[in-house]
Chains A and B, each alone.
Chain A
């Protein structure tokens, strides 16, 4: 054996040992975590479903990680009910729940499932669903629980072409699909256009089962667009808006706005009647969630902790200098069910 071969052998042994040791410790940590019961105080779903509640994704590093949970709106920091339903993204309105999932594999499969929570405390029942063409990103349900939207990332061409693309679909639960929103007529700044590079994501529904708002990106800019399901059209009404969320009274849009050269997203609120914007500067972290309204003056969003891979749901008053606070710890994807 030459010295060269010996040196190479040493490198192989070192690298292989390093990789194996890391993987084994990760497996041990994973197994410890997934067999451990949650630290949070828990209660039964029947208890929580009696009144107004907040649905969310549990993010505690334990056996219930990723499962959908619920807390009473009156006591969000209190006991939580945990279900067996596991989702990447979850949202609920009225009696409908939308759950986007990834079935990981050499070829991952993605699915949107619609469930109903009709009788308090009983198992949620699957009522509808579709296969998704990519990675789950956003989902929203209309206030009456009849319409559902889902946004996914569509993977591009692995050989050459830049692949960033979203696909957003709106469906009537248990009924027909309105299809891909990119196929809707698009009016940007008053002109009808059909750009190749358009991407649409982050839908929020008004309460008339027809009007919705969404982000439209084209030509390197993002716009807030008002959509009309009957006319199959999207019309931009403001720019520099991402992931809109309509307030319960329908007068304001909460969204995230790129600041500091697009490396941070700040929460902001737009008054639809006056066009006045308020950046909620009290939150200094980057928000990458579709904001949810707790009530007409308070917004909610999930935010990952800096030191560990656990999210918490924060609440923030919509005045410019309000300070955020943790509303539900170990939680993400909040949805308020009144």
Chain B
């Protein structure tokens, strides 16, 4: 009964088929992400310096905190997605996630020791884990299904603008104020608060909620059937998650690609961080075009084939030519890979489950990919030491190229552009 068999949006955010435009809610959510990323990335940029130079943490303590920074968010993501679906209100769950990160910024300003800093950073990452899936569910809910890829592209582009502006802001402050870490933290808190305020004021409480016709019949809500996580595990989502997870196992992490390029002498060590910036810029420039392409030729197709540029980047890193163009190509190709897969995964996952469990479905796919990438990084580290960077890169490249057609074969039923959502839903609950 709660299934959407048509592709018409059925959300309380209203009919937003506004010609070719992306919905206002998606833009607003993009601005929220941009403000929040300015906040978090300005802190990320100074955190190593701040923790070691100002707070005075030793390498091991810094390493522990850095590990926390990376690991915590996966854990809470599915729980938050489930909470968003269970309450049928992604907005307050996402808002709580943004608010947690803002409180964590405040904590960081006053934190002085290992314990308090760990607590603040954990809270920030929990906040990130909490907000991601409900936010993506809202993007899916308020977008024209035919233009879902582009909606996610627009959101991710705005998000990446924030991620690029954040470090820039931190740099300007530290350039003007020699020991301006406190100022960076205060400004970062300010942007976090602006993000939370934008979310609270301009994304309605009911956004993403599933409208039920029964609600009109009476003044009270009809009690819902008990929500189960299993409802999100449709065959479609299971397959896409499995394929994405396996492909993610063959994703070695950008750091390794850059290190391999460094080892083969493509550039001087001090340019190392520029590679991250380059990848980010390529992602920013390509997020919307890739989203549009996905809408036109099929999102699942783009999601799987989007791993080809990744394989090509590995090839560049393995070539060992040391030429500047291989380095530039690798950076660009990584950007293409993220543009083709990051938003697309949420777009695909959100359409493969009934909309009552959309946030859970998105969270499941994202968590599987995140965990698979953690495993991949560890495994690849071992391979790197065993056979050296070039052979290791080449090996992963070969397996990845072989896995892509296999992935396409497993998902062949879902390769059409506009058919996925409705078809799967029908198939699960005829």
Residue of A nearest to B175 (CB): A104
A309/B373 in contact, CB under 8 A: no
Of B51-59, B298-306, B355-363, B394-402, the one touching chain A: B51-59
B417 on the A face (CB < 8 A): no
State how many angstroms separate the Cβ of A134 from the closest Cβ of chain B.
8
A321 on the B face (CB < 8 A): no
CA distance A284 to B183 in the complex (A): 31
A15/B190 in contact, CB under 8 A: yes
Contact of A242 among B58, B177, B187, B274 (CB under 8 A): B58
Of A39-47, A160-168, A228-236, the one touching chain B: A160-168
Main secondary structure of the interface of A (DSSP, over half): mixed
Inside 8 A of B186's CB, which chain A residues have their CB? 18-19, 22-23
Say whether, besides A30-B179, A304-B56, A164 and B63 are in contact (CB < 8 Å).
yes
Say whether, besides A133-B269, A133-B272, A288 and B56 are in contact (CB < 8 Å).
yes
Main secondary structure of the interface of B (DSSP, over half): helix
Q: List 19 A-B contacts (CB under 8 A).
A: A8-B202, A11-B194, A18-B190, A23-B187, A27-B177, A110-B270, A131-B268, A132-B269, A133-B270, A158-B254, A161-B377, A162-B70, A163-B66, A163-B255, A196-B382, A196-B384, A217-B59, A263-B114, A309-B54
CA distance A196 to B370 in the complex (A): 21
Inside 8 A of A155's CB, which chain B residues have their CB? 48, 272-273
B58/A288 in contact, CB under 8 A: yes
A65 on the B face (CB < 8 A): yes
B113 on the A face (CB < 8 A): yes
CA distance A235 to B115 in the complex (A): 33
A107 on the B face (CB < 8 A): yes
Inside 8 A of B190's CB, which chain A residues have their CB? 15-16, 18-19
CA distance A201 to B61 in the complex (A): 14
Residue of A nearest to B188 (CB): A19
Inside 8 A of A199's CB, which chain B residues have their CB? 59, 63
Contact of B44 among A12, A22, A158, A256 (CB under 8 A): A158
Contact of B49 among A8, A102, A131 (CB under 8 A): A102
A137 on the B face (CB < 8 A): yes
B269/A131 in contact, CB under 8 A: yes
A222 on the B face (CB < 8 A): yes
A109/B270 in contact, CB under 8 A: yes
Which 9 A-B pairs give the minimum distances between C-beta atoms? Answer: A164-B63, A157-B255, A19-B190, A133-B269, A161-B377, A8-B201, A11-B197, A30-B177, A26-B183
Contact of B178 among A8, A65, A258 (CB under 8 A): A65
Inside 8 A of B272's CB, which chain A residues have their CB? 133, 155
Q: Taking A106-B277, A131-B268, A217-B59 as given, write out 18 further A-B residue pairs in contact, using a Cβ cutoff of 8 Å, ordered by the A residue number.
A: A4-B202, A8-B202, A23-B183, A104-B174, A104-B175, A106-B168, A133-B270, A156-B66, A157-B256, A160-B377, A161-B377, A162-B69, A164-B67, A194-B385, A243-B58, A262-B114, A309-B54, A309-B179
A7 on the B face (CB < 8 A): yes
B183/A22 in contact, CB under 8 A: yes
Residue of B nearest to A12 (CB): B194
A274 on the B face (CB < 8 A): no
Residue of B nearest to A10 (CB): B197
List B187-235 residues whose CB lies under 8 Å from chain A: 187, 190, 193-194, 197-198, 201-202
B277/A107 in contact, CB under 8 A: yes
Interface residues on B, range: 35 or more
Inside 8 A of B373's CB, which chain A residues have their CB? 160-161
CA distance A304 to B52 in the complex (A): 12
A105 on the B face (CB < 8 A): yes
A106/B44 in contact, CB under 8 A: no
Residue of A nearest to B383 (CB): A196
Residues of B near any A CB (own CB < 8 A): 44, 48-49, 52-54, 56-64, 66-67, 69-71, 113-115, 167-168, 171, 173-180, 182-183, 186-187, 190, 193-194, 197-198, 201-202, 253-256, 262, 268-274, 276-277, 370, 373-374, 377-378, 381-382, 384-385
Say whether, besides A153-B62, A196-B382, A105 and B370 are in contact (CB < 8 Å).
no
0 or 1 for each of A15-34: is its CB under 8 Å from B? (1 = yes): 11011001100110010001
Which of A34, A158, A217 has the most chain B CB atoms inside 10 A of its CB?
Answer: A158
CA distance A161 to B255 in the complex (A): 8
A265 on the B face (CB < 8 A): yes
State how many angstroms separate the Cβ of A5 from the closest Cβ of chain B.
8
B194/A15 in contact, CB under 8 A: yes
A185 on the B face (CB < 8 A): no
Inside 8 A of A27's CB, which chain B residues have their CB? 176-177
A262/B60 in contact, CB under 8 A: yes
Inside 8 A of A55's CB, which chain B residues have their CB? none
Which of A23, A199, A243 has the most chain B CB atoms inside 10 A of its CB?
Answer: A23
State how many angstroms separate the Cβ of B74 from the closest Cβ of chain A.
10
Inside 8 A of B253's CB, which chain A residues have their CB? 157, 159-161
Inside 8 A of B374's CB, which chain A residues have their CB? 160-161
State how many angstroms separate the Cβ of A208 from the closest Cβ of chain B.
27
Inside 8 A of B66's CB, which chain A residues have their CB? 156, 162-164
A135 on the B face (CB < 8 A): yes
Inside 8 A of A159's CB, which chain B residues have their CB? 253-254
Say whether, besides A104-B174, A162-B70, A164-B62, A263 and B113 are in contact (CB < 8 Å).
yes
Inside 8 A of B254's CB, which chain A residues have their CB? 157-159
Inside 8 A of B70's CB, which chain A residues have their CB? 160-163
CA distance A165 to B381 in the complex (A): 13
A207 on the B face (CB < 8 A): no
CA distance A102 to B168 in the complex (A): 17
Inside 8 A of B198's CB, which chain A residues have their CB? 8
State how many angstroms separate the Cβ of A283 from the closest Cβ of chain B.
15
